[in-house]
């Protein structure tokens, strides 16, 4: 999560073992479905806000962390005060607003998944999930014309 000057992508990231890529992607999709089917509870919301406060504080514990945050604010053309506003915004956001955002943006039918890894080892497993077309990109993010499928 981060402060942005405009809306951006809703992201979930993680590092996984290559041989667990298929299972990990399936779990992300399962979690997206659960978000749609089971509304976030008040207890989950409180825990998430507490975790956000802890994460925000730990990010600013080191000079490198502060420099990183300042660099992000600079690159997004935001004032340094935006950093404080982000945490305040998270803490002030109500449960109904979060549920509405989940309903609108965490839709697995509209999700695009970017998976980075050894194509020879992960592509067949991803195709087996039948989540939609698998588009292979080159190092510049352009679709490859050839398809090993």
Q: Among 146, 149, 3, which residue's Cα sits nearest to residue 74?
A: 3
Angle at 13 between CA 12 and CA 16, to 5 degrees: 135
115-140 pLDDT, tens digit each: 999 999 999 999 999 999 999 999 89
The pTM score is 0.71
pLDDT of residue 52: 87
88-98 pLDDT, tens digit each: 888 899 999 99
48-88 pLDDT, tens digit each: 999 988 888 888 889 998 898 889 889 888 888 887 777 88
Tell me the CA distances in angstroms from 94 to 28, 46, 49, 143, one per residue in order. Answer: 25, 10, 11, 40
pLDDT of residue 120: 95
Between CA 108 and CA 131 the distance in angstroms is 9
């Amino acid at each position: 999560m981060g402060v942005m000057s405009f809306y951006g992508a809703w992201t979930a990231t993680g590092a996984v073992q290559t041989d667990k890529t298929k299972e990990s992607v399936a779990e992300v999709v399962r979690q997206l479905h659960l978000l749609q089917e089971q509304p976030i509870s008040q207890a989950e919301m409180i825990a998430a806000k507490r975790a956000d406060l802890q994460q925000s504080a730990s990010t600013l514990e080191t000079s490198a962390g502060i420099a990183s945050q300042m660099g992000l604010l600079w690159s997004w053309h935001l004032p340094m005060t935006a950093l404080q506003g982000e945490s305040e915004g998270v803490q002030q956001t109500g449960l109904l607003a979060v549920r509405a955002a989940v309903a609108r943006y965490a839709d697995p039918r509209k999700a695009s998944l970017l998976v980075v890894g050894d194509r020879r080892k992960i592509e067949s497993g991803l195709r087996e999930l039948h989540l939609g077309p698998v588009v292979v990109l080159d190092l510049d993010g352009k679709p490859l014309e050839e398809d090993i499928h």
